[in-house]
Amino acid sequence: MRRYLLKRMLTGLLMVMISVAINFVLVRLAPGDPMVMLAGVDNPNPAQIAALTEKFGLDKSIPEQFFIYVGGVLRGDFGYSYVNERPVLALIGERVGPTLMVTLTALIIAVAIGTLLGVRCARKSGGVFDQIICGLSYLFDSTPSFWLGLMLILLFASTLHWLPTSGMVNMRAGYTGLARVGDIAYHLVLPVSTLALITMPYYFRIARSSVLQVMSEDFITTLRATGMSEKRLFNKYVLRNALIPTVTVVGSSLAHLIGGAVFIETVFSWPGMGQLLYSSISKRDYPLLSGIYLIIALSIAIMMIVVDIVYSLIDPRIKYTD
Amino acid sequence: MKKKHPVKAFFARVWATMLANKQLLVGAILVLIMASLAVLAPVLSPYDPYELTPELMKPPGTPGSNGAPIHWLGTDKLGRDILSQMLWGSQTSLRIGFIAASIAALVGTLIGGIAGYFGGRVDKVIVEFINIFVMTPSFFLILIIVAMFGSRMIYVMIVIGLTSWPGNARLMRAQAISLRNRTFIKSCQAMGESKLSIMFRHIIPNGIFPIVANTTMQISGAILTEAGLSFLGLGDPNIISWGQMISSGKSLLTKAPWVAIVPGLAVVLNVLAFFLIGDGLNRVIAPKMNANK
């Protein structure tokens, strides 16, 4: 167990290191001289360029630059956004909250409803309800998140006027305290629904197929032969075994979910990391772009390890020997 | 009993499988329709997709001026005919899907085949490499690369392809491991056939089916990724793409909703079609999981 976790941590660490390396190489391979951009004028004078080049250490050799960069990252220095004239980490720090709010709420809803539906459909597989939900799951799996978001805006905001079209708070009202919380929740409905709807099919399918699989196993048949009631059998033995795969994929779906957040935040003008990423792309703000990438790589690595630990706690059969 | 011609027998079997497998049948019909529309785009399009007609933001069914054809799906902000753009855009979608997924299939099969068949230290290193690769947030990598190096369609295809191979590699590795102990492989080894030759002539051809199923699914993924990139403004500006059409429809949502609705529906149908085929093929491979009945 201990050895396994150590191994996983090593993999995570390697992943982060490779991400750092890829990032470093990409930023330096990208066309265009950042110093010319930084100088900010069409025809910068050479002395200014030289001064800036020295200031940002670009006159040093590539390996030297790499170690300086890694050293910076280790000390929490993810670079400086020339466009925003602020450190990358500070910019990201402001945006993490709203993104987590949307993604985690959507994740919880998607896991809960998806799993419930999956279990329900598996118990009565082949029925009308099962067929309808399975069909819907295919449909939402094939729908681009940004388009679904636009359609929900069109229906619930532009046509029915039930919900706001975009943003996180009503700027004009300027609510404080509890009213502000309510306002944010009100603005949260559409983005969270969109993200939850496109994430749900994933959890639905996993729950459904793992319940079906557990139900076909020999020990269930044996228990049934002992005359145990179906209800008890299902709640005590089937469900517990069937929910294990769901836990494992929560970790690996995180990358996917954050990717989805980029679109959701763009569509709904939600002031989170996705929107920051989008604006860093359109402004060609490379340090910010690679900073965001690194933060995401890091959080995924941490999440994976957490999931591994949770996984080993809920399933006593698992002993990570190799 | 008279034996059927092998080719005929093959098609008869394919047909029987399709009839027994709803997903496969529906998906195949959808793909067939899309592919024919894409191929026939130059003939079917009533307008040149870039032509700026005098009808701006007109709803579906508006007749063209001076006896020009009807705009069956309306026009966009610049007066371009949406139906014609849709037809040409389907070529983009299919091309990106196929090429990106093929790259992923090729790379994944090779890496997985080598890991599984050669085994030992090679396998250990490759497995660790795959583990790391699976963890990296590939969508962001695609975003960064395309944002920095430009959005020519060929880059988009290659980048999507090179970031989505690990699934295939895992499948092929498992196939190679189970195949390498089979008698026919052992006899090839006994006859002195080289390892590489065995891998290419026996292991890969015999183990390719799950990769075909997975590749079909990845066509869906690639189409979605391309649409997403185009929506974020990172698509190739020199081609017509459904993602770009949705993006341009975003600001017209209340005035001309069809500009965004139509291409979005097309993306859904296209992705759904390949998804259904991939899922259907997976059910053919593992009939036990066929919970449809």
Q: Pick the range with the lowest mean pLDDT from A75-89, A144-158, B36-50.
A: A75-89
Tell me how far apart the alpha carbons of residues A27 and A30 are, in angstroms, rounded to a whole number.
5
pLDDT of residue B42 exceeding 70: yes
Mean pLDDT for B252-267 is 86
Cβ neighbors of A82 (< 8 A, separation 6 or more) are A34, A37, A38, A285, A287
Tell me how far apart the alpha carbons of residues A256 and A308 are, in angstroms, rounded to a whole number.
18
Would B274 be classed as within a structural domain?
yes
Q: What percent of chain A has a predicted confidence (pLDDT) above 70?
A: 87
Whole-structure pTM value: 0.84
Of B144, B227, B293, which is closest to A26 when you measure between CB atoms? B144
Residue of A nearest to B220 (CA): A142
* Chain B residues close to A209, C-beta within 8 Å: 289, 291
pLDDT of residue B104 exceeding 90: yes
Mean pLDDT for B145-161 is 84
Say what the pLDDT of residue B14 is.
76
* Choice between A139 and A243, residue whose per-residue pLDDT is larger: A139
Q: Chain B: nearest CA to A173, how far in angstroms?
A: 24
pLDDT of residue B64 exceeding 80: no
Q: What percent of chain B has a predicted confidence (pLDDT) above 70?
A: 96
Residue type, B195: K
Mean pLDDT for A164-168 is 75
Say what the pLDDT of residue A318 is.
59
The answer to whether residue A282 neighbours chain B at the CB level (below 8 Å) is yes
With contact defined as beta carbons under 8 Å apart, do B240 and B216 qualify?
Answer: no
Say what the pLDDT of residue B57 is.
74
Would B28 be classed as within a structural domain?
no
Q: Pick the range with the lowest mean pLDDT from A87-96, A231-240, B39-48, B283-292.
A: B283-292
The answer to whether residue A273 neighbours chain B at the CB level (below 8 Å) is no
Tens digit of each residue's pLDDT (9 = 90 or more) over A47-72: 777 777 776 666 777 777 778 777 87
Residue of A nearest to B141 (CA): A293
Mean pLDDT for B80-90 is 85
Would B27 be classed as within a structural domain?
no
Query: Residue A86 forms beta bridges with which residues?
Result: A81
Say what the pLDDT of residue B100 is.
93
Residue of B26, B143, B254 to mutate when probing chain A, most A C-beta within 10 A: B143
Would B57 be classed as within a structural domain?
no
Tally of CA atoms within 13 A in the half-sphere of B86 that contains its CB: 25
Mean pLDDT of chain B: 84
Q: What is the CATH number of the domain that holds B174?
A: 1.10.3720.10
Of B128, B141, B233, which is closest to A11 when you measure between CB atoms? B128
Residue of A142, A248, A263, A275 to mutate when probing chain B, most B C-beta within 10 A: A142
Burial B120-157 (b: 16+ CB within 10 A, else e): eeebeebbebbbbbbbbbbbbbbbbbbbbeebebeebb
Would B26 be classed as within a structural domain?
no
Q: Residue A39's pLDDT band (boundaries 50, 70, 90)?
A: low
Say what the pLDDT of residue B290 is.
45
Would B70 be classed as within a structural domain?
no
pLDDT of residue B105 exceeding 90: yes
Say what the pLDDT of residue B293 is.
34
Mean pLDDT for A62-88 is 78
Tell me how far apart the alpha carbons of residues B136 and A255 are, in angstroms, rounded to a whole number.
8
* Chain A residues close to B261, C-beta within 8 Å: 151, 154
pLDDT of residue B292 exceeding 60: no
Mean pLDDT for A112-118 is 92
Q: Do B132 and A11 touch (CB under 8 A)?
A: yes
ipTM for this model? 0.84
Would B143 be classed as within a structural domain?
yes
With contact defined as beta carbons under 8 Å apart, do A194 and A149 qualify?
Answer: yes
Tens digit of each residue's pLDDT (9 = 90 or more) over A237-292: 888 888 888 877 777 677 778 778 888 888 888 888 888 887 887 777 777 877 88
Would B113 be classed as within a structural domain?
yes
pLDDT of residue A23 exceeding 50: yes
Residue of A nearest to B137 (CA): A255
> Could you list the residue range(s) of the whole structural domain that residue B237 is in?
34-46+76-286
The answer to whether residue A269 neighbours chain B at the CB level (below 8 Å) is no
Q: Residue A32's pLDDT band (boundaries 50, 70, 90)?
A: low
Say what the pLDDT of residue B181 is.
85
Query: What are the structural domains, with CATH classification, of chain A?
Result: 1-83+285-322 (no CATH), 95-282 (1.10.3720.10)
* Chain A residues close to B138, C-beta within 8 Å: 255
Mean pLDDT for B7-35 is 83
A and B: number of Cβ contacts within 8 A:
142
The number of folded domains in chain B is 1
Q: Pick the range with the lowest mean pLDDT from A224-228, B41-45, B257-261, B287-291.
A: B287-291
Say what the pLDDT of residue A238 is.
82
Quote the radius of gyration of chain A (alpha carbons, Å): 25
